[in-house]
Amino acid sequence: MTGPAASDEPVDDEWADAPFTAGRAADARARLLLRPKSARRARMHPFAILGLWAWQTALSLGVAIPAAALVARVYGMHPRADAPLWDAGGLALMDFLWRDARALSPVAATAEITLVVGAVGGLLPAAAVMMAMGRVPRHRTAATLSQALSAALWAMPAFSFLLVVFALVQGATLAMGYGVTQLVESTTTGLGAVRAERLSIASGVVFLLLASGLGVVHDLARAAVVCARARGARAIVLGARAFGAAPLPLWWSWAWRGLAAAVPVLAVAFFTGTVGGRGGATLALVAMLHQAVILARVSLHASWLARALRAIDGWPA
Amino acid sequence: MRRAFAWIAFVGAAGLHGDARDSPLPLHAAIDDEPVPARAEDVVDYTLRARLDPKAHTLHGEGTIVWRNTSVAPVHDLWLHLYMNAFKNTSSAFLSERVGGRGSAASGDWGWIDVRKLVLRAADGAGMDLWPGAEVRRGEGRLGEAEGAISEPPRAGVPQAGRREETHQDDETDARVPLPEEVAPGATITLDVVFDEKLPAIVERTGYAGSFHMVGQWFPKVARLERSGRWAHFPFHHLSEFYADFGSYDVTLDVPERFVLGATGAAIESTVENGRRIERHVQRGVHDFAWTAWDEFVTLKDTIDGVHVTLLHPPGFGRIAQRELEALRFALPYFSARYGPYPYDVLTVVHPPDDAEEAGGMEYPTLITSEGPWWEPAGVREPEVVTIHELGHQWFYGLVATDEHAWPLLDEGLNQFAEVDAMAKWLGPGSLVDMVGLKVGDAEVQAVGGNASVHDEPVAQAADAFSSGANYGRLVYSRTASVLETVARVYGEEATLHALGVYARRYRFAHPVPDDLLRVFHETMGPRVAETLRAAFFDEGWVDYAVDGVWTQEAERAAGVFDRGGARETVDAGASEQGGWDSSVLVRRRGTLSFPVDVELTFADGSTHRERWDAEEGWRRLTWHGPSALVSAVVDPDGRLLVDSNPSNNFGAPPGAGRTPSVRPTAAPRTLERATYWMQLALQAVSP
């Protein structure tokens, strides 16, 4: 893989004339230059990470507030407020879910819609974060929010194209994997049910690894959009080429961050399980821990995206 | 039989359900004072030999049945249960009753039993084959007249509502065999029997899956003759289980050498001859015999509480098998202490392979089957709860031995409570699920399930009277357990377990009926508890406690016109010179059950006060004068009433009208916090 000479200075690549700067092209400060690889680091962009966290939090509150209002309508006059719902054993919670299932269905529908919005609309903040990490205005240390968003908007067609392509390919891979697991299980039952299931799972893991590799290529292709202004198939080729140059290190870069992101979730879950429905300072502590977990996960994701950006050269090979 | 493992007992750490101090009852005599019958009366003895062909999934059986008339009446015919015929065709009662529940999936292969001979031995050694005269199809002879017969006539106040009208003309599971001459009370007959059998593909409790064979309800089995002379015979109904007399079983099993056998009773002989493994199992004092054979079983052995335990499991299930053994290490001594000593030397636990799941979660004398996939996470207690549930049956189904067809609540219901209690004692609040911070209790799951169908039909009815498998599960299992758990939480856990312990000891080997259970509760816990149980089980009893109004205001002096000392005085309204606040709470008890309950009052200064309401009347107004305004009232603040139909109306606050201070509803901060967090995690999972 070839690339620009190592330098701490931003590279004045052709991005400066990108369409999203139209109308402001005369303003040199609006031009986004490619950062040198060494500067494409998530830790240098705390506000981008906070922005991504804020986006997820805002969407989540859109579901959580109606859910909490529904609970408050029933338990608002209880001296412990909604604490009984979170007592160990789960009686009040199960009773509430069973009794108020109909009232909860709009909340459930809102949650489903929010997840769809998050899956599709999440492209924009993800692109903005990548732009912020990969690009910088001349003589500035970071792009402004509007600059990052403008650049992200420019990248949306390419990002959307990549989302559709990789969703189809990954979906097909997983479907094929499911078929293979069924085939393996049915043809190896002679070895014993458990062995057959384990072989089936092992064959499924192969396809999961393939799908995860495709996910890595997807992110690398998006990095190519950011770094090399690549679009469509060219972005995929650049992403695949970057992956091909160092598949295991890149996959492991993605994988260890994914594994690390699960650790705080489990750790905090055990803690919250022990405090149950306590309020006051304990609840505040739980809330802080939960948001720290979310921020840590966002940071790890951003860190991976930065790693993907570092894997892509500024110029198409 | 297992209850559905709901994918989901709240026992507080400190004596949770109230302790003896809460109980209005006198301290009980030690449970050990209740005598335990040493052994069952031998009514019917089976000496059988069965040879399995594991490729054709058939078996050939022959042997001898010795039966004694222990009733007060002469007997003119014999009733035999041929339950393998439940899987013979879709006209059987079992397959034609489309009520849902376990065993509803179509079997991949039919199963049946053909009796070849049933020879009555005469005193002179000659024999007479009775089988040609037997009536097997329900449409034949007197079988039609017998339809609907259950173990006892309907009792006063016991509705038999909802029993289905099907006559099951072609069912072949309940055969009448006319006898050439009557059998007098106390007399004994000997029958030589020969039969051939085809096992079905695994379907509810029995059958084969590959080379795995679970063989239950496999031999011609004499129905139980009640002391009155009435036969407790019945077809194999879809929701029904079993009922039989005690006796001795001497069964020789003959399978290919490579097969591992597990069976009721101890193996007293085991030989290999001509490539066949031949094992002889003998057990006295039981009322059924089941066995399993598989060439892939892995065997674990242990001795727990003096009982030789054999655990048979598929390869790869070692971790699950260890969890099941751990459950037994807790539950065997626990149940023995609660319900009387386990009287047998052996216990076999069978964990069927995944493709024979229908064989899992079942009880036979000294043999139970468990379930759960090999990968089950430690926090999901399926292997533990199923093992403990089926083990509990050894005391209720096995030793007390009630009629599971007529009174399923006496086995499945009481055993479900025993399971809930044991799981809570062993594992605490997360007795069903305890993982990643989520703790779900067995008792709580039963409470929600039991409340769901309480108005549909009674708990105490015959298995075939239930409208659906779902209601059978919710009422027989869940409702019975949550009613008893509520009694334990309200009147004292030790008192309740003591009562059930007395029942299980006193009626060991005795085939009791619900009246016997209620009598024991009346005797040990008093008439109110007994009446509560009667109403809950027989009359669709329900209850809903509610806070129907809360008022508080500054104390006022008496105002108006008063004639004092010969003079008329007008006193204006105004604050009382003593100061303070007057508060009142209206609490209601709706429904037909009643339990004494606490009402907790919380005041503006943060103090609380509890009042006990016996709740024998439908409502009560509690009044209180104190230095602070009342801000809320909660009925049943400790959540003892698992049977409360609507726990979300158990609290209230002043409405804030007039001079009453307004109490604004609080938000739901915990829900907001957790819902936000979970949604954030979900979004991260789908975000690009």
Least confident of A308-312, B62-66, B81-85, B164-168: B164-168
Q: Which residues of B197-208 are buried (b: 16+ CB within 10 A; e: fewer)?
A: bbbbbbbbbbbb
Of A84, A194, A297, the CB nearest to B316: A194
DSSP A29: G
CB A228, CB A313: distance < 8 Å:
yes
- 8 Å CB contact between B175 and B112: no
Task: Report chain B's mean pLDDT, rounded to a whole number.
Answer: 89
Neighbours of B98 (CB within 10 A): 9
For A97, nearest residue in chain B (alpha carbons) = B448
Of these ranges, A38-47, A192-201, A272-281, B392-401, the one predicted with the greatest mean pLDDT is B392-401
Q: What six digits make up the tokens of B645? A: 């139909």
Phi, psi of B651 (to 5 degrees): -150, 160
Tell me: pLDDT of A90 over 70. Answer: yes
Please give the Cα distance from A29 to A40 (Å, whole number): 19
How does pLDDT run across B536-574, given as a tens digit for each residue?
999 999 999 999 999 998 888 888 999 988 899 898 888
Q: In what order do the strands lie in the sheet with B581-591?
A: B543-554, B581-591, B619-626
Q: Do A119 and B452 touch (CB under 8 A)?
A: no
Q: What is the pLDDT of residues B151-162, one digit of tens each?
A: 344 443 344 444
Model confidence at B240: pLDDT above 80: yes
On the question of pLDDT at B127 being above 50, the answer is: yes
Q: A89 and B443 in contact by Cβ < 8 A? A: yes
Q: Calculate ∠ Cα A59-A65-A67, nearest 5°.
A: 110
* pLDDT, position B33: 74
Give the Cα separation of B681 and B687 in Å (integer). Answer: 10
Across residues A240-260, what is the average pLDDT?
95
**C-beta atoms of B672 and A272 within 8 A:** no
Average pLDDT on A89-118 reads 90
| Tens of pLDDT, residues B367-391 | 999 999 999 999 999 999 999 999 9
Decide which of B600 and B11 is more confident: B600
What is the nearest CA distance from A190 to chain B, expressed in angstroms?
Answer: 10
This prediction's pTM: 0.88
Which of A63, A80, A91, A112 is the best substitution to test chain B (most B C-beta atoms within 10 A)? A91
Candidates A60, A112, A266: best to mutate against B (most CBs of B within 10 A) is A60
Tell me the C-alpha distance between B266 and B283, whole Å. Answer: 7
Q: How far is B180 from chain A (nearest CA, A)?
A: 52
The alpha-carbon gap from A311 to the nearest alpha carbon of chain B, in Å, equals 19
Residue B657 has pLDDT above 60, yes or no: no
Query: 3-state secondary structure string, B29-72?
Result: CCHHHCCCCCCCCCCEEEEEEEEEECCCCEEEEEEEEEEECCCC
CA–CA distance, B59 with B94 (Å, rounded to integer): 22
Q: How far apart are CA B394 and CA B396, in angstroms?
A: 6
User: Within an 8 Å CB–CB cutoff, is residue A159 touching chain B?
Assistant: yes
Contacting residues of A for B319, CB less than 8 Å apart: none
Q: Taking CB atoms and an 8 Å limit, are B668 and A75 in contact across chains?
A: yes
Helices B480-491, B527-538: crossing angle, 10 deg rounding: 160
**Set of chain B residues whose Cβ sits within 8 Å of the Cβ of A197:** 354, 374-375
Burial environment of residue B356 by CB neighbours within 10 A (0 to 12, 13 to 18, 19 or more): buried
Chain B touched by A313 (CB under 8 Å): no
CA distance B681 to B678: 5
Chain CA centroid to CA B427, Å: 20
| Residue of B431, B552, B674 for testing the chain A interface, max A β-carbons within 10 Å | B674
Q: CA dihedral in degrees (A13, A18, A24, A27; nearest 10)? A: 0
Question: For residue A215, which of B686, B682, B681 has the smallest C-alpha distance?
Answer: B686
Least confident window among A95-109, A221-235, B51-65, B292-306: A95-109
Tokens of A80: 């412990």
Q: Which residues, numbered 33 to 52 in chain A, qualify as contacts with chain B under a Cβ-Cβ cut-off of 8 Å?
A: none
Do residues B287 and B245 make contact, with C-beta atoms less than 8 angstroms apart? yes
Chain A residue numbers with beta carbons less than 8 Å from the beta carbon of B665 are 72-73, 76-77
Q: Determine the residue among A194, A266, A293 to mutate to test chain B binding: the one whose Cβ has the most chain B Cβ atoms within 10 Å.
A: A194
Mean pLDDT on B576-605: 93
Q: B657 versus B611: which is more confidently predicted?
A: B611
3-state secondary structure of B237: coil
Tell me, letter by letter, the H, E, C secondary structure of A85-120: HHCCECHHHHHHHHHCHHHHHHHHHHHHHHHHHHHH
pLDDT beyond 90 at B6:
no
Query: Can you list the positions of beta strands (E) in B274-428?
Result: 276-286, 291-294, 298-304, 307-313, 346-350, 362-364, 367-369
| Chain B contact present for A111, CB below 8 A | yes
User: Do B440 and A266 lie within an 8 Å CB cutoff?
Assistant: no
Which one, of A242, A235, A171, lies nearest residue A208 by Cα? Answer: A171
Cα separation, B78 vs B174, whole angstroms: 11
| A74 to B648: CB separation less than 8 angstroms, yes or no | yes
Which residues does chain A have within 8 Å of residue B448's beta carbon, measured at their own beta carbons? Answer: 91, 94-95, 98
Which three-class secondary structure string do you get for B83-125?
HHHHHCCCCCHHHHCCCCCCCCCCCCCCCEEEEEEEEEECCCC
Chain centre distance of CA B152: 21
pLDDT computed for residue A9 by the predictor: 64
Q: How many angstroms separate the Cα of B28 from the Cα of each of A102, B421, B425, B494, B623?
A: 48, 20, 21, 9, 36
Verify whether the Cβ–Cβ distance A301 to B684 is below 8 Å. Answer: yes
* Confidence bin at B662 (pLDDT 50/70/90): low
In this prediction, residue B579 carries a pLDDT of 85
> What is d(CA B393, CA B398) in angstroms, rounded to the nearest whole number?
6
Nearest Cα residue in chain A from B666: A76
The verdict on a CB contact (< 8 Å) between A72 and B668 is: yes
CB contact, 8 Å: A66 with chain B?
A: no
- In this predicted structure, the answer to whether residue B149 has a pLDDT above a threshold of 80 is no
How many whole angstroms separate alpha carbon B482 and alpha carbon B448?
9
A67 contacts B673? CB cut-off 8 A: no
Q: Tell me which DSSP letter residue B206 carries.
A: B
The answer to whether B287 touches B244, Cβ cutoff 8 Å, is yes
The values of phi and psi at residue B158, to 5°, are: -105, 105
Whole-angstrom Cα distance, residue B321 to residue A24?
Answer: 71
A residues 163-222 lying closer than 8 A (beta carbon) to B: 163, 189, 192-195, 197-198
Integer Cα distance of A212 and B301 in angstroms: 44
Q: What residues of chain A lie within 8 A of the CB of B674, using their CB?
A: 86
Residues 6+ apart with CB under 8 A from A298: A49, A52, A53, A56, B684
Of B244, B325, B236, B336, the residue nearest B289 (C-alpha): B244
What residues of chain B lie within 8 A of the CB of A87, using their CB?
Answer: 10, 639
Which of A82, A269, A291 is the closest to B436 by Cβ? A269
Tell me the three state secondary structure of residue A241.
helix
A64 shares contact with chain B (CB less than 8 Å):
yes
Task: Compute the average pLDDT of residues A97-113.
Answer: 89
Q: Which helix (H) or strand (E) is B500 found in, with range? A: helix B493-506
Amino acid at B353: P
Q: Please judge whether A189 and B316 are an interchain contact, meaning their C-beta atoms are less than 8 angstroms apart.
A: no
Instruction: Say which of A56, A94, A270 has its CB closest to residue B684.
Output: A56
Q: Do B632 and A98 touch (CB under 8 A)?
A: no
Q: In the numeric block, which tokens belong to residue B124?
A: 């002179």
> Taking CA atoms, what residue in A is nearest to B352?
A193
Residue A201 gets the label, from left (phi > 0), alpha (psi -120 to 50) or beta, of: alpha
Specify the 3-state DSSP secondary structure of B587. Answer: strand
Residue of chain A with shortest Cα separation from B7: A94
